[in-house]
Structure 1
């Protein structure tokens, strides 16, 4: 009897579809192909997903797909059992009079940027010999000469002289090492060494080592020492001090796919510690050792934390 083909997790299939779209949107881009090849070699299931997508690639012409019903059938050939609605959501289809079209033009920043990282991935870059960048999870940057544009996510920059444009302004560093992060509605800067000049619609300000600044559209607000070490991720760590459990989980969720939440009854429990980002299983186990909570993990993609009582 012939063994049934391996059924792949939806998250892997989703990523294979994203790569299919991204490679078509950036033909001949060596950097994009290098990122794709690294993803493909990282896990045998990644390669298998890609092979199956290529087996049905005849249905993907010039970024166009047949209607949703046919598309679902195409994906089932790749051992993906999805509903019609789920298929549309995964592929990011726009229904037009002419059928379904892949929305390359409105794709997330990571699909259109010079350098990117996936969820849970970090990446180090050296530019022009004297400038070092490190991208955190799910981040994207563009390069325009000596100027760096943070499109999404978070980055660490370290060098003699640099200029980073973020959503809410421009940060210019001199002999500086700093972290910039895009949050909902504002940009965040933390300086570890040197000095950074911030220029934004709300004004200008110099930020010294050991200080932080939030860049809002209408104001600049100093950031004190918070519960989260803003530089620890660059060393593969998540270091927190007296942080509410709900906030900790929101931060940890940035480094993994799936659903990670807690019950309201334990959301305000305070947590301190050092956690390794490359050990997600141990990270969850440590929470259970530090707090009176129970970890309910139905799958690797769905985790809920509740009270032991």
Structure 2
């Protein structure tokens, strides 16, 4: 049986189909990157199901593209059509390539396939997911919920770029390089250098928070000398300067162990933190937002976590739906 006939008889699993779609998205967004091409080729060669899913995704994508190219549209209208074609392709791919003919597959994909930024990143997590990765230099990464990171190692430096979310980094010794290459971590607000130990970076809209739990980290600035941050210190980096933060009311690295550890934290801030780990809406009324709580809370089940709050605070949970929860003052 030739390769074409063999591929016709294969039925790749939904997980393999998702991987094929993700590789196509990566290549579309990194067309000039030899590294991405090599990794995709290695993935295709690793198993016949991989190549089967890849070929069918290519075929489906080409068919959809040709159909939408034939439509009399231009400018913004054509862009909208092409976006629709991409979405349709992802939905149909799970149906046609995996035999997953079940109701609601579009919603299934919307929930399980990572957003565009996660698709093109070297390492990523979905909402509620936390994952660890070991790099070739001995560095270990932990990604928190809804995060995306790129890695770019060269002969002169090790560069990790935080595109979204939060990471915990245990610095590797880079024992294979003499001298060891600097370990740089970039984000949209600046650049830091891990000298030794362990640190957490959390990128938000207006600033990135750096918290050092072990060792030392340098904050590099284009307008001043590097700033050394020691274990136990936290800084806010906003692109112009770095400001020392007071002792936090939440352990910055506890999420790596699946925990939220609070010390006299505002309920409003606590709920905003919990919301990062679940889909839908969770919030609290203003008249209870200033209440304070301390404790250790497990992240593995946020519904169970929320159910603990009325046991220690004068609040009740109001579930409009499974995905819409509000904390209100207990009458």
TM-score, scaled to structure 1: 0.70
- 3-state SS of paired residue (1:249): helix
1:208 equivalent to 2:246? Answer: no
- For the residue of structure 1 that corresponds to 2:276, the secondary structure is helix
Shift of 1:31: 11
Cα offsets for 1:122-143 (capped at 9, x unmatched): 1111112521111111111111
Matched, 1:257 2:279: yes
Q: How does 1:117-136 map to 2 (within 5 A)?
A: 117-136=125-144
Shift of 1:253: 0.8
For structure 2, which runs of at least 5 residues remain unmatched after alignment? 1-14, 28-36, 45-55, 69-80, 96-100, 174-181
Residue number in structure 1 paired with 2:188? 167
Q: Give deviations 1:209-237, integer Å, cap 9, x for gaps.
A: 11111111222100121111101111110
2: distance between equivalents of 1:280 and 1:244? 18
Q: 1:285 to 1:218 in 2, by over 3 A?
A: same
Counterparts of 1:154-233 in structure 2 under 5 Å? 154-159=166-171, 160=173, 162-203=183-224, 204-233=226-255
Distance 2:165 2:124 in 1: 9
Deviation at 1:26, TM superposition (A): 3.0
Bigger-Rg structure (1/2):
2
Contact 2:21–2:57, Cα closer than 8 Å, also in 1: no
Tell me the TM-score normalized by structure 2.
0.66
Residue 79 in 1 paired to residue 103 in 2? yes
Contact 1:202–1:217 (CA under 8 A) maintained in structure 2: no
Query: How far apart are 1:208 and its partner, in Å?
Result: 0.8
Is the 1:110–1:116 contact (alpha carbons within 8 Å) kept by the matching residues of 2?
yes
CA contact under 8 A between 1:26 and 1:32: conserved in structure 2? no
RMSD over equivalenced CA pairs, Å = 3.7
Task: State how far apart, in whole Å, the 1-side matches of 2:43 and 2:290 are.
Answer: 44
Aligned length: 254
The structural deviation recorded for 1:144 is 0.7
Secondary structure at the aligned position of 1:176 is classed as: strand
Whether the 8 Å CA contact 1:173–1:195 is kept in 2: the answer is: yes
* Distance in 2, Cα, partners of 1:200 & 1:110: 28
- Indicate how the Cα distance of structure 1 residues 259 and 32 shifts in structure 2: closer, same or farther if over 3 A, else same: farther
1:111 to 2:119 alignment: yes
2: distance between equivalents of 1:149 and 1:22?
A: 20
Deviates more, 1:287-296 or 1:20-29: 20-29
Q: Secondary structure at the match of 2:244?
A: strand
Contact 1:133 1:155 in 2 (8 A): yes
Higher strand share: 1
Structure with the largest fraction of helix:
2
Q: Distance in 1 between matches of 2:184 and 2:289?
A: 39
Distance of aligned partners of 1:202 and 1:221 in 2 relative to their CA distance in 1, 3 Å threshold: farther
Paired with 2:42 and 2:329, the residues of 1 have a C-alpha distance of 45
Q: What are the residue-to-residue correspondences of 1:43-122 with 2, within 5 Å?
A: 61=62, 64=65, 79-80=103-104, 108-122=116-130
Q: Which runs of 5+ in 1 are unaligned?
A: 1-14, 35-54, 92-106
